[in-house]
C-alpha cells in the first residue's frame, strides 16, 4: 500500500488518465512461481507485439482511472473476464489517453482463479479479436463483413464470366427455354414444404409440435438470411424466431438445427458417392473432388463417433449418480455449461442415433436434395445448345455429382449464400463431363439465381406472415439469443 499515494496522485494532480502498477518493468521487485512468470511475460509480450502497447504489465490489479476517460471507453470494451483490463489499457493508448506505468513491490499470494488451459487460450483469441478491431475497423464485422464477402462473391462471378467469355454467356441465355426454367422453379418451390416436414420430424422427436407452415416460414427466413449474410449466420435467425414465437429453448433449437445440418451432409455425401460411381466410366475424379467427398464423409463419421462416445459417457455418469453433484452446484457457470452439454447430447441422440428416427430423417433429406438436384437438371435441359443426352446414366449422374459437390463446397462459408463458390464448383464438374465451359457456367449461374430468388421471395413473404422485420432477423447474434 506504500504505492497508493503515487497511484492516486498520478490521476488527481499529475495529469494522467490511467495509472497502473507493473510487476514486469526492469525496476519492479516481484516474485512468483516460474510457471506464472513465464506465462505472464509471454502474454504481455504478445500484447505489446500485436496490439502495439507500450506497457510491460497489463494485468496487475493495482490500477486507478480518471472517471471521464474510463466512462468513454467502457462501451467499447467487449471482454468482461481476465482480458478486461488489457483491453482497457490498450484502447486507452490507441485513443491517445495518457497512461502511467510504474514498478511495484509484489509477492505471489499463493492462490489464483486463473485456469491456465482455458484462460490462456481464451486470452490469446481475445488478443487476435482486438487486433482485427483496432487495425481493420469495420472491415470484418457488421456491415463491413457483409460488404466484403458480397464484393468477393461478385468478384468471383465477374472473373469467371470474363475468363469464359461474357458474350458467349449472354448468347447462351438468349436460347434458353423459359418453360423449362419455369418448371425448374416450380420443382424447387415444391421442395420447401419438405424442408418444413423434415424439421417438424426432428422437433416432434424432441417433444415440440409446431405446424408445417410456421416451420417452413422460419426456414425460409433463416435461409434468406444465409443468402445475405456470410458464414451461415442466418441459422441464428431461425433460433431467434423459434424462441420469440414459440419460446423454444435455446438448447433444443440448437440441437435440432445441428441435426438438420448433419443430415444434409449425410444426404449430399451419399449422393456424391453414388454419382461418382455413375460417371466412373467416362470421368475420373480430380483430387479436389475426392478431397471434398472425403472431407464430408470424415466429418460425418467424426460427428457420430463423438456423439456415441459422449452419449456413452453421459449414461455412465448418470449411473454413477454424478448428476446429483451437478445439481448441488447449479449456480456455478461450469454447472450450467455441463447442463447445456448434457441436454444437447441427449437431444441429438434422440434423432441422430436411434434407428427409426435416423432412417426417417435420412429419407426426407435425400428427397429434399433429390429435388434440389432435379432443379439443376431441368435448368441444364433448358439449354438446347448443351447437346447432352439427358436420359443417359452418365448425364444424370453428372448433374447429381455437380450439385452435390457444389453444396459440399457451401460448407466453407467464404461468401454469402456461397455465391461464386457454388457456381465455380458446378462449372468445373460440368466441364470435366464434356459440357462447354461458358455453357456450364451459365447453367450454374441460372440454377443458383433461381434457388436464391425463390429463397429470398419466400423469406420476404414469411417475414410478413410471421410478423418479423428484415432488420430484426439479420441483426440476430448469440448475445441476442442469450438475452431472450
Considering the domain architecture, whether residues 165 and 95 belong to the same structural domain is answered as no
- Return the SS3 of 259: helix
- Give the confidence band of 252 by pLDDT, cuts at 50, 70, 90: confident
Question: What pLDDT, on a 0 to 100 scale, did the predictor assign at position 117?
Answer: 45
* Residue 140 counted as domain residue: no
Distances (CA, A) of 50 to 26, 200, 259: 21, 48, 39
Q: Which three-class secondary structure state does DSSP give residue 101?
A: strand
| Cα-only R_g, the chain | 28
Residue 86, in any domain of the structure: yes
Cross-strand partners of 65? 18
350 vs 217, residue with greater confidence: 217
Q: Are residues 127 and 166 in the same domain?
A: no
Distance CA 61, CA 20 (A): 8
Domain end residue (candidates: 109, 135, 161): 135
Place of cell 464423409: 297
Q: What does pLDDT average to over the chain? A: 82
Number of domains present in the structure of the chain: 2
Q: In this model, does residue 101 exceed pLDDT 50? A: yes
Q: Which of 135, 170, 192 is the last residue of a domain?
A: 135
Residue 392: per-residue pLDDT: 84
Name the band, by pLDDT with cuts 50, 70 and 90, for residue 461.
very high
Q: What does the pLDDT read at residue 325?
A: 45
Give the three-class secondary structure for 231: coil
Residue 142 lies in a domain: no
- pLDDT band with cut points at 50, 70 and 90 for residue 386: low
pLDDT at 100 over 90: yes
Q: What is the pLDDT of residue 166?
A: 66
Give me the mean pLDDT over the 435-453 stretch. 88
Residue with the bigger pLDDT between 129 and 140: it is 129
Contact 212, 193 (CB under 8 A): yes
Is residue 124 assigned to a domain? yes
Determine the 3-state secondary structure of 28 from DSSP.
Answer: coil
Same domain membership, residue 130 and residue 97: yes
Q: Give yes or no: residues 421 and 344 share one domain.
A: yes
Same domain, 99 and 177: no
Residues 226 and 127 in one domain: no
Farthest-apart Cα atoms in the chain, separation: 89
Sort 180 into a burial class: Cβ within 10 Å, 0-12 / 13-18 / 19+: middle
Is 419 part of any domain?
yes
- Model pLDDT, residue 472: 79
Residues 474 and 377 in one domain: yes
| Closest-CA residue to 66 (of 30, 22, 114, 18) | 18
| Percent of the chain's residues with pLDDT above 70 | 80
- The reply to whether 31 and 156 lie within a common domain is no
Quick one: pLDDT at residue 93? 94
Count of beta carbons in the 10 Å neighbourhood of residue 247: 8
User: What single DSSP character describes residue 181?
Assistant: H
Across 194-201, average pLDDT: 94
C-alpha cell at 283: 470421368
Tell me the H-state helices in 229-286: 235-246, 250-278
Please answer whether residues 122 and 81 qualify as being in contact, where contact means their C-beta atoms are separated by less than 8 angstroms.
yes
* Highest mean pLDDT, choosing among 222-226, 253-257, 361-365: 361-365
User: Beta partners for 20?
Assistant: 63, 101
Judged against a pLDDT cut of 90, whether residue 127 lies above it is answered with no
Q: Is the pLDDT of residue 52 over 80?
A: yes
**Pick from 110, 135, 160: which residue ends a domain?**
135
- Distance in angstroms (rounded) separating the CA atoms of residues 279 and 293: 15
DSSP state of 176: -
89-93, 295-299, 350-354, range with greatest mean pLDDT = 89-93
Q: Which percentage of the chain shows pLDDT scores above 90? A: 33
Spot the catalytic one: 29, 57, 85, 247.
85
Q: Mean per-residue pLDDT for 344-364?
A: 82
**Claim to verify: residue 189 and residue 287 sit in the same structural domain:** yes
3-state secondary structure of 294: helix
- 143 inside domain: no
In terms of C-beta density within 10 A (0-12 exposed, 13-18 middle, 19 or more buried), how is residue 451 classed? buried
Separation of alpha carbons 307 and 165, rounded Å: 48
Q: Is the pLDDT of residue 368 over 90?
A: yes
Does 258 map to a domain?
yes
Same domain for 209 and 131? no
How far, in Å, CA of 327 to CA of 336, rounded? 10
**Looking at the structure, do residues 245 and 119 belong to the same domain, yes or no?**
no
Residue 479 annotated among the catalytic residues of the structure: no
> 100, 81, 80: which is closest to 89 by C-alpha?
100
Kindly write down the DSSP assignment for every residue of 422-458, as one continuous string: HHHHHHHHHHHTT--HHHHHHHHHHHHHHHHHHHHHH
pLDDT at 231: 57
Q: Supply the range of the domain harboring residue 91.
A: 4-135
Residue 189 lies in a domain: yes
Cell numbers given for 374: 432435379
Residues 29 and 51 in one domain: yes
Look at residue 191 and tell me whether its pLDDT is greater than 60: yes
pLDDT at 328: 47
* Range in 128-142, 175-189, 361-375, 456-470 with the lowest mean pLDDT: 128-142
Full strand arrangement of the beta sheet holding 18-22: 63-65, 18-22, 99-103
Quick one: how far is CA 107 from the chain centroid? 44
Rounded to an integer, what distance in angstroms lies between the CA atom of residue 358 and that of residue 206? 13
Amino acid at each position: 500500500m506504500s504505492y497508493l499515494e503515487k497511484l492516486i496522485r498520478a490521476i488527481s494532480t499529475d495529469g494522467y488518465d490511467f495509472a497502473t502498477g507493473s510487476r514486469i518493468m526492469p525496476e519492479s521487485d516481484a516474485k512468483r512461481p516460474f510457471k506464472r512468470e513465464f506465462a505472464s511475460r509471454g502474454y504481455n509480450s504478445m500484447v505489446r507485439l500485436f496490439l502495439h502497447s507500450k506497457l510491460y504489465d497489463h494485468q496487475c490489479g493495482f490500477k486507478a482511472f480518471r472517471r471521464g476517460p474510463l466512462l468513454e471507453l467502457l462501451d467499447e470494451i467487449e471482454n468482461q473476464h481476465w482480458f478486461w483490463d488489457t483491453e482497457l489499457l490498450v484502447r486507452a493508448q490507441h485513443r491517445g489517453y495518457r497512461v502511467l506505468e510504474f514498478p511495484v513491490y509484489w509477492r505471489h499470494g499463493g492462490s489464483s482463479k486463473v485456469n491456465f488451459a482455458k484462460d490462456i487460450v481464451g486470452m490469446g483469441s481475445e488478443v487476435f479479436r482486438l487486433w482485427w478491431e483496432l487495425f481493420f475497423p469495420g472491415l470484418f464485422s457488421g456491415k463491413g463483413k457483409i460488404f466484403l464477402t458480397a464484393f468477393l462473391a461478385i468478384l468471383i462471378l465477374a472473373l469467371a464470366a470474363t475468363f469464359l467469355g461474357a458474350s458467349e454467356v449472354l448468347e447462351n441465355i438468349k436460347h434458353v427455354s423459359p418453360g423449362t426454367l419455369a418448371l425448374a422453379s416450380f420443382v424447387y418451390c415444391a421442395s420447401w414444404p419438405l424442408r418444413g416436414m423434415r424439421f417438424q420430424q426432428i422437433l416432434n422427436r424432441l417433444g415440440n409440435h409446431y405446424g408445417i407452415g410456421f416451420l417452413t416460414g422460419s426456414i425460409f427466413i433463416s435461409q434468406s438470411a444465409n443468402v445475405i449474410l456470410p458464414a451461415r449466420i442466418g441459422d441464428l435467425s431461425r433460433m431467434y424466431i423459434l424462441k420469440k414465437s414459440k419460446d423454444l429453448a435455446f438448447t433444443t433449437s440448437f440441437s435440432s438445427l445441428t441435426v438438420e445440418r448433419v443430415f444434409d451432409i449425410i444426404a449430399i455425401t451419399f449422393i456424391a458417392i453414388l454419382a461418382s460411381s455413375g460417371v466412373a466410366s467416362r470421368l475420373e475424379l480430380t483430387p479436389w473432388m475426392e478431397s471434398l467427398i472425403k472431407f464430408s464423409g470424415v466429418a460425418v463419421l467424426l460427428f457420430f463417433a463423438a456423439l456415441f462416445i459422449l452419449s456413452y459417457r453421459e449414461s455412465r455418469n448418470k449411473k454413477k449418480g454424478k448428476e446429483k453433484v451437478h445439481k448441488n452446484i447449479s449456480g456455478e457457470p461450469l454447472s450450467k455449461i455441463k447442463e447445456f452439454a448434457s441436454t444437447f447430447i441427449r437431444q441429438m441422440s434422440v434423432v441422430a442415433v436411434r434407428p427409426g428416427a435416423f432412417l426417417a430423417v435420412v429419407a426426407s433429406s435425400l428427397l429434399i436434395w433429390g429435388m434440389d438436384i432435379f432443379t439443376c437438371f431441368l435448368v441444364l435441359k433448358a439449354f438446347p445448345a448443351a447437346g447432352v443426352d439427358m436420359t443417359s446414366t452418365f448425364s444424370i449422374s453428372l448433374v447429381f455429382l455437380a450439385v452435390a459437390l457444389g453444396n459440399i463446397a457451401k460448407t466453407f462459408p467464404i461468401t454469402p449464400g456461397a455465391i461464386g463458390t457454388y457456381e465455380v464448383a458446378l462449372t468445373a464438374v460440368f466441364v470435366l463431363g464434356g459440357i462447354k465451359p461458358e455453357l456450364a457456367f451459365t447453367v450454374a449461374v441460372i440454377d443458383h439465381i433461381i434457388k436464391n430468388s425463390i429463397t429470398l421471395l419466400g423469406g420476404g413473404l414469411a417475414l410478413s406472415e410471421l410478423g418479423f422485420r428484415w432488420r430484426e432477423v439479420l441483426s440476430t447474434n448469440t448475445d441476442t439469443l442469450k438475452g431472450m
